[in-house]
Amino acid sequence: MSKRYYITTPIYYVNGVPHCGTATTTLLADATKRYRALRGDNPYFLTGTDENARKVTEAAEKAGVEPRTFVDQVSQKFVETWKFLKCDYDVFFRTTEERHTRVVQEVFRRLKASGDVYLGTYEGWYSVADETFFRDTDVDAATQTAKETGAKVERVQEETYFFRLSAYGDRLKRHIEASPDFLIPETRRNEVLGFIDQGLRDIAITQNRSGWGIPVPGEEGRKVIYVWFDALINYLSESGWPGEGWDRLWPADVHLMGKEIYTRFHATLWPAMLMALDLPLPRHVVGHGWWLVRDPETNSLVKGSKSGVPLPLPEEVVALLQEKSGASEYICIDAFRYYCLRDIAFQSDAEFSLNVLVSRFNADLANTLGNVLNRVLRAKYHPGHVPAPRSHDEGLKASAERAVAAYEAALERFDWGAALTAAFAHLDEVNRYLADRAPWTLAKNGDDAGVADVVYNALEATRLAAVLLAPAMPFVATEIGRQLGVADLCPEGGWADATRYGGLVPGTPTGEAAPLFPRIDPKTIQAAPAPSAPAVPKKEKQPNVSTNGGETAAPAAEASINDQITIDDFAKVQFRVADILAAEKIEGAKKLLKLQIRVGEGEERQIVSGIADAYTPEDLVGRQIVVVYNLKPAKLRGVESQGMLLAATDAEGRAILLQPDKPVTAGSQVR
């Protein structure tokens, strides 16, 4: 049997239920599986849950149930949500399964025997929230938090086993340099090379405790395997390694994930572990950006997460779409799938916004796609079967070929946003073609041959678009296929035929036409209540789904150039250089700092800014910053803010202040 195309998502922690972030990665994997199936690659899709983490026991304790009961309940919730979203995985992997324990212990034994695992003493910091070890320089000693993530850390000193990660830096670097498609996207590849250049340290891989977790062989009851070391092995365990036939699945073709578990874990530790085991490395490791949500405390965009500002639940977003559009649940699930795949950012981050979702629903699905369907399938001149054309339209054929080529190229890099953009560019062409040829006029003039040409070509071009949309919107594609009279739009392995222009067979009866996407009135979304907080674990905060942006707002993904402003718009904003005179924390608001600033000769002001996770008050006094001078004052956490400062955001979402290149007088204008 030939090797299967092996796709994985991260196995998710069970300290919270699935949200739109975890759903997006799972959808990326699902769409990739469906695409690979159409291409005949015999795909295999793994998802699952990471259940041995310390934070799981803490979450269970909080919920007042036994860890075993807790992990069973929450992992079931993941199963249900993925089923709801039509994610067609092949295995739901749980790290508490016996077969996984055996493989992890085997890996440990082998690496200990080869000297890649050795006993030593770890002294440093550990964050339970991140399940990560940090060194002194990674930690803000005053607040005992990790600089990278802001999570609480605790001091640990213990006898532990280490993995000799330091031995693999050079080999890893050579592999990355020799395999340009190994780490995707490019920006993250560069980040990993930089990370390796700083020097890789050996990493502690056991923790001294008994109970929950995988026992270290020979140290049962005293030590358990560090959860990341255990979790990464899941991808290999599924293959049945070291038993017969593991190479029918391994190496993975693609590991998909969010960027926070990319550099440190999937792009360095995991490949190094595989090198130490003398096993082949995954073909592609892909890290996408985050969905951001607005933090009500600071009004800034932050990563949506289980423990911070929550993202909404997929079921709630779908229910909202259903309520507002009146479309069926299946249609709304596909619309949700489309939004997540189309707008998740790869290089940077994007805001999760109901308004953008609704504008995608209205503009892309109801208008672009819906118009094409209306104009060909529901038109009076449509004969009820596929008509015989005199010729294939060269323009539409070229448009389809361009779309297929761009789509395939995008998916070599797992970029679903670019792939779907290509499919919709083709649908735009079909709309333009229909407007140009005006089959309604041809029909009025009795030009039957002309009508047959246009209807055939428009139906065929639509069929092709539906093939491209099928992995993202399986229900919608099947429904379009039914309306076109095509029983199986793209049979498994039939990609080349299905994407060749001219596949529709004249004479085939078409199905009954029905509109798929009723438009949503965006005004009803503005007033919609925010979806409620996830049930597990209990959280005080309400999820924060932005409705900013209005109906026609360009999606927040990547840097959008569609939202251009004029020079007059820009001229309305006055920027000035300011001196920071004093800075202090604001009680009860852990991210905010109150600054006294000088914005001109004898002109002092107070501003409030959400930069406390990146700067201490002492860091700030005496610095120069750039502020918006003519911003209407607002209150943040009850404290008046007369303006705002400008800051960039680093890869971890923390603020980096902008300041003039050379000191200038406070109050100087910035142009």
Q: Under the rule (CB under 6 A), what is the footprint of ligand MSP?
A: 10-13, 21-22, 24-25, 50, 231-232, 234, 257-258, 260-261, 290-291, 303-305, 311
Q: What is d(CA 17, CA 533) in angstroms, rounded to the nearest whole number?
A: 10
- Closest approach of Cβ 257 to ligand MSP, in Å? 4
- Closest approach of Cβ 434 to ligand MSP, in Å? 38
- Closest approach of Cβ 407 to ligand MSP, in Å? 23
Q: What is d(CA 591, CA 308) in angstroms, rounded to the nearest whole number?
A: 12
Beta bridge partners of 454: none
Q: How far is CA 443 from CA 434, 436, 448, 458, 529, in A?
A: 13, 14, 7, 15, 48
Q: How many residues are listed for the chain in this entry? A: 671
- Closest approach of Cβ 401 to ligand MSP, in Å? 33
Q: How far is CA 457 from CA 371, 449, 500, 501, 503, in A?
A: 15, 12, 13, 9, 10
Using DSSP, state whether 100 is helix, strand or coil. helix
DSSP string, 374-404: HHHHSSTT--SBPPPPSS--HHHHHHHHHHH
Q: What is d(CA 359, CA 54) in angstroms, rounded to the nearest whole number?
A: 41
Q: Which is nearer to ligand MSP, 230 or 429 (CB)?
A: 230
- Give the number of other Cβ atoms within 10 Å of residue 622's Cβ: 10
Q: Which is nearer to ligand MSP, 13 or 122 (CB)?
A: 13
Do 16 and 55 touch, CB atoms closer than 8 A?
A: no
- Closest approach of Cβ 113 to ligand MSP, in Å? 24
Q: Which is nearer to ligand MSP, 108 or 290 (CB)?
A: 290
Q: Which is nearer to ligand MSP, 11 or 279 (CB)?
A: 11
Q: Which is nearer to ligand MSP, 20 or 333 (CB)?
A: 20
Q: Which is nearer to ligand MSP, 72 or 604 (CB)?
A: 72
- Closest approach of Cβ 168 to ligand MSP, in Å? 18
Segment holding 79, helix H or strand E: helix 67-84
- Closest approach of Cβ 231 to ligand MSP, in Å? 4
Using DSSP, state whether 644 is helix, strand or coil. strand
- Give the number of other Cβ atoms within 10 Å of residue 383's Cβ: 12
Closest CA to 117 of 104, 127, 128: 104
Helix axes 370-377, 416-437, angle to 10 degrees: 40
Do 387 and 456 touch, CB atoms closer than 8 A?
A: yes
Q: Which is nearer to ligand MSP, 258 or 549 (CB)?
A: 258
Q: Which is nearer to ligand MSP, 11 or 411 (CB)?
A: 11
Strands 206-208 vs 291-294: parallel, antiparallel or unpaired:
unpaired
Q: Which is nearer to ligand MSP, 59 or 625 (CB)?
A: 59
- Closest approach of Cβ 255 to ligand MSP, in Å? 8
In the bound state, the residue with its beta carbon closest to ligand MSP is: 21
Helix axes 416-437, 448-469, angle to 10 degrees: 170
- Closest approach of Cβ 310 to ligand MSP, in Å? 10
